Amino acid sequence: MRKKKVVLIGGGPACLIAADLLADHCDVIIYEKGKTIGRKFLVAGKGGFNLTNFASGDLLLNHFTDHPILQSALQSFDSVKTRAWLHELGIPTFVGSSGRVFPLPDIKPATVLSSIKSRLKEKGVHIAVNSAFIGFNTSHFPMIKQNTETFDVEADHIIFGLGGASWSKTGSTGDWLSYFEALGIKTLPFEASNCGIHVDLPAHIFAQFAGTPIKNCALSIDEHYAKGEVLLTNYGLEGNLIYPSVPFIRKQLASRKEATVYLDFKPNNTRASLLEKTKNGTLESKHYKSTFRLDAVTINLLKSAMRKEDYLNVILVVEKLKAFPIKVQSLRPIEEAISTVGGISLEELNPDFTLKKHPHLSVIGEMLNWDAPTGGFLLQGCFSTGYFASKQLMNEL
Ligand SMILES: Cc1cc2nc3c(=O)[nH]c(=O)nc-3n(C[C@H](O)[C@H](O)[C@H](O)COP(=O)(O)OP(=O)(O)OC[C@H]3O[C@@H](n4cnc5c(N)ncnc54)[C@H](O)[C@@H]3O)c2cc1C
C-alpha cells in the first residue's frame, strides 16, 4: 500500500514533534520559509530554557486557556511525556525553581535542536528550507515559494505550525493570517502576551530606578494574585510577576481602556502585623525604612504616590504598602513579546485539530489562539498540540 504523504509547514517545535511521530508511518516533508528551522526555539534557549514545566494533571491544565480541544491535547501529551520524549532523544532534563524543566546544565539549546533534527533525518523526514507558504490555491491546497519557484503542495494531509507574531527575526511574522481569512477561517488579531507593561509612574522614578528589581512582593489584579519579583525598567514593569498578569491587564484595557495592578510590598505581613511594629499606630517617617525593612525604591514609590501629610501617617503608609495601585497604560509592542495570543480561533477546529471547513488541513502550536504563562508552558502547549494532532491523524490516515 502507498505510504500516505503528510506535509508540515513551519519548522518550529510544534511541527518538529509532529514530524517525529508521523514519520513512523508516513512520508513527511517540512517546508520552512527561513534558511534554518527552530529559530525561536533557539532564542527561547538563550535565557532559561524551560522545555516544559513539572506541573501535571489539573495543575498543568489550569495554566492554559480553558478550551476542551486544548485540554484534551494537554491531557494526552503532558509534561511527563514531553520529558520522556526528550530523554529518548538523549536530552535528560531536571526540575528547577518553580517547576521549570531544563535540559541538564551541559546541554546547549543547539544540541537539543540538533538531536531532534538527527532523529528526523534517521526517520527520513525531508526538511525543505527557503520554502515559504504564500497562500492557498483554488482547491484549498497551500502554495509554496521555494527560492524563485512556486508550486502547489500535493499531499494526503497538511499540518500548519507557523507560530505567533513576535520576534519576527525568528520567522514568526503572522504573515499567514490573511491566507486563512481568505479560506473563510475566523482569526483574531495578534496581541502581546508574556510581555512588559507601560505604567504611569513619575519620570524621576524611572530615571533613578530603571533596572532595579522589587523583590519579595505580590501583584494582584481582579482574581489574579501572585508573589514574586518585579523589575522596574525605563518604561514600566517587566518580569515573572508581570507576565502571568498580562491576560487580566489585557481584559481590563479592552473593557475600560485602562488597567490597574496592585503591588503588595509586604506580602508576608498583614496590615495588623505591620501596625503591631508601631506604637499604637504612630511611627516617625524616618523609621519606616528600618521598622518595615523597606528598600529605596519602595520608599520612593510611596513618597511619589502620597501627599506629604499622608506620608507622615503610618496607618495610611501601611495601607499603601499592602495595596499600591499602579495604572497600566498599555502592553509593550507585540514584536518583543515572549508569546502572542490571537491567530486562528479554536472554534474553527474539530477535536482532532483539523479545520472544520477544510478537514485536510490541521493547525497546531502558537498560531492558534491560546494563552499560557512562561515557565515551560508555552513549549508544552506546542508539543502537546503537535503530538495530539499527529496522533489523531495517524489513526485516521
Ligand atoms: C525570547 C523568548 C523566550 C522564550 N522562552 C521560552 C521558554 O523558556 N519556554 C517556553 O516554553 N517557551 C518559550 N518561548 C516561547 C516558545 O519559543 C514559542 O511558544 C514556540 O517556539 C512556538 O512554537 P511554534 O512551533 O508554534 O512556532 P515557532 O517556533 O514560532 O515556529 C514557526 C515556524 O514557522 C515558520 N514560518 C512562519 N511563517 C511561515 C510561512 N509563511 N511559510 C513557511 N514557514 C513559515 C517560521 O519561520 C518558524 O520557523 C520563548 C519565546 C521567546 C520569543
Mean pLDDT rounded to a whole number for the chain: 96
| CATH of the domain spanning 5-192+339-396 | 3.50.50.60
Question: What confidence score (pLDDT) does residue 45 get?
Answer: 85
Question: What confidence score (pLDDT) does residue 1 get?
Answer: 75
| Strand partners of residue 343 | 188
- Taking the C-alpha atoms of residue 91 and residue 112, their distance in angstroms, rounded to an integer, is 7
The letter for the amino acid at 213 is P
* Three cell numbers written together for 121: 533525518
Neighbours of 64 (CB within 10 A): 20
Q: Where are the domains of the chain?
A: 5-192+339-396, 197-331
- Taking the C-alpha atoms of residue 259 and residue 198, their distance in angstroms, rounded to an integer, is 11
The pLDDT tens digits of the residues spanning 5-31 come to 999 999 999 999 999 999 999 999 999
Share of the chain above pLDDT 70, in %: 100
Q: Which residue has the cell 479554536?
A: 346
Ligand 1 environment, Cβ below 6 A: 9-15, 31-34, 37, 39-41, 43-44, 47-50, 132-133, 161-163, 166-167, 171-172, 175-176, 338-339, 365-366, 376, 378-379, 382
| pLDDT (average), residues 353-364 | 98
Which atom of ligand 1 lies closest to the CA of 366? 26
Q: Which residue among 29, 40, 361 is best mutated to probe the pocket of ligand 1, counting the most ligand atoms within 8 A of its Cβ?
A: 40
Cβ contact 51:103 at 8 Å = yes
Neighbours of 81 (CB within 10 A): 16
| pLDDT surpassing 90 at residue 97 | no
- Taking the C-alpha atoms of residue 299 and residue 134, their distance in angstroms, rounded to an integer, is 55
- Taking the C-alpha atoms of residue 195 and residue 245, their distance in angstroms, rounded to an integer, is 10
| pLDDT surpassing 90 at residue 397 | no
| pLDDT (average), residues 288-315 | 97
* Three cell numbers written together for 133: 507558504
Question: What confidence score (pLDDT) does residue 214 get?
Answer: 96
The pLDDT tens digits of the residues spanning 48-74 come to 899 999 999 999 999 999 999 999 999
Question: What confidence score (pLDDT) does residue 46 get?
Answer: 86
